[in-house]
A and B are shown apart, each in its own frame.
Chain A
Amino acid sequence: MEHILLRHREIPDLKKLDVYRKNGGFQAFQKAVTQMRPAEVTELVKASGLRGRGGAGFPTGVKWSFIPEGIYPRYVVANADESEPGTFKDREILEGNPYQFLEGVAIACYAVEAHVGYVYLRGEFWRLAQEIEACITELEQAGLLGQALFGTDYSLRIHAHVGAGAYICGEESALLESIEGKLGQPRIRPPFPATSGLFGKPTVINNVETLTNLPLILEKGADWYRSMGTADSPGVKIFSLSGRVKKPGNYELPFGLTFRQLIFESGGGILDDRPVKAIMAAGASSSLIVADDKALDTKLDYASVRTLGADLGSASVIVIDDTVSISWVISKTIHFFKHESCGKCTPCREGTYWMMHLIDRIEQGEATRENVELLHTVAKQMQNKCLCALGEFATMAPVTGIERFPVDFKASPAGGLHA
């Protein structure tokens, strides 16, 4: 099947504007601006069933429709802060197919009647940010961004804003704070960004991959999009496959294939043909899935993965084989979240700190059974108490790791735990 998002893999030089336009580029945006009312664009996207690709899976058109009537200006912010361990899909889109992404930003702006859009890139994408800025300049020169587009009275500007190293800025309200020149710390909600977002104005925040779907949905229609994937999760998804597989990388696939197909057909199987032990479907934020036959034959869509007590999230599938200890895995995720906790709310700031000390003790072989139980308790106590999802994410691997892989946390004869 030809790619829909990673089209640069088939079309050489797609990152050049003339090549992108020769392949239909910016016709969808032009059609929207000249032939459709903004609300019609939103309705079409709703009908396509497109769900947010940043992790939450919320229906994109529905999200747009939360923008209250009569309040202007409005903003669209593209979330290109991709920082979740295991996730590297937005980066490939930005590198290979930047104009399709930017056309998606433009379509989203038109749909919610925004005249300014921001692309928030993580600071580590410094070089990519320069490329995106160059693309924006080319679009302005080509008359595809700017004043009075296509002879209408619609005008649009897009700006790139570069972060500076903070996972938390992928959380949408923290991202807005960061654009406003503040610490990237989440806001208390309500109000939600749709009513009071960037600069206190109605704001839509969408992930890079979500936005990149839009041009082809407008061009080919909702039924075409729904012809791929499942009823629950229509369309295609980029799966970032990493860990102990032979061929890690991005795989654009329709929703509804199985973990087995992704890992063994796309990913070529496990390194050294070892048995697969555990799967993290949504990067470091994942619950740990026991990789038994039932799990491997589970479909990759939002609803099916939930039946395994996990979430598909951003579909950043980290594969763990039997050479890897789960206590080491959760040590890695806990250290990540401890480092990235923004410090604003106590359960996350203190919880990640204590989880780190406990897992360090476990990894050093100095822990008792009580320490493992305490780690589980601390993680459980953080749940449902944190200001944003990051705190929640920090608990997923520790809680499910201890519950689902008890053998990896067994006390050694010496009183310590084997790692």
Chain B
Amino acid sequence: MSLADKYPQEVKKILAKYPPEYKRSAVMPLLYLAQRQDGYITKASVQDIAGMLDMTTTDVVSIVGFYTLFHDQRAGKYRMQVCTDLPCAMRGADRFLEELCSHLGIKVGETTSDGLVTVEAVMCLAGCDRAPMFQLQTAEGLEYHENMSVDKTLELIAALKNSGGEVK
């Protein structure tokens, strides 16, 4: 099913934001919509969006590749993306990430064996004064979790597991 069939209101609203002769501007919002639908950007979505916006599939794939919040592969249900940039690192972010991964029995970039959480190191998230911090990316969107400790994070993961997947 195409995005326009599945989300007619959203697609219409997105396209209305840009001049009709520049409908390519809608590619990023439409990719978000596709990612929300499938959890990642599928080849079918790429073709769907390319057709809708008169773009080549190569162009659409290049957008997916360039921007780090778009994913062309399935990962854990939650992507736990820890900022390890300079200000966070001076407040223990590297150690936090290392200890978290060791508790989960995974390496950075890997997914827990139950498929729940993929832990990643990412660049600055504008939360420098509240490190250690991470964002939790799901198909639905993003949540920030700040002033975190390994214990608090493990509690959060347990809660996510028990809730069957709802964020927060």
A contact set with B: CB distance below 8 Å: 82-88, 90-91, 122-127, 130, 159, 161-167, 178-184, 199, 240-244, 248-250, 280, 284, 316, 318, 320, 324, 329, 332-333, 336, 339-340, 342
Contact = CB atoms under 8 A, between A and B. Distances in A.
B141 A181 contact: no
B128 A124 contact: no
Contact of A164 (B22, B31, B55, B90): B31
Interface string B34-75: 000000000000000000010100000011001111100000
B19 A199 contact: yes
B86 A333 contact: yes
Given A180-B24, A332-B86, 13 more contacts: A84-B124, A85-B85, A85-B123, A85-B124, A124-B125, A159-B17, A162-B29, A164-B31, A165-B70, A181-B24, A284-B124, A318-B86, A332-B85
B141 A127 contact: yes
Interface of B: 17, 19, 22, 24-29, 31-32, 53, 55, 62-63, 66-70, 85-87, 89-91, 122-130, 135, 141-144
A88 B69 contact: no
Contacts of B53: 181
Contacts of B122: 165
Nearest to B16: A159
Contacts of B68: 164-166
A164 B27 contact: no
B28 A164 contact: yes
Contacts of B24: 180-182
Contacts of A250: 129
A86 B67 contact: no
Looking at B62, B123, B124, B135, the one whose CB has the most chain A CB atoms below 10 A away is B124
A241 to B, nearest CB: 7
Looking at A85, A179, A248, A318, the one whose CB has the most chain B CB atoms below 10 A away is A85
Contact of B26 (A85, A130, A181, A183): A181
A173 B141 CA distance: 27
Contacts of B85: 85, 284, 332, 336
Contacts of B28: 161-164, 178, 181
B56 to A, nearest CB: 12
Contacts of A163: 28, 67
A273 B50 CA distance: 57
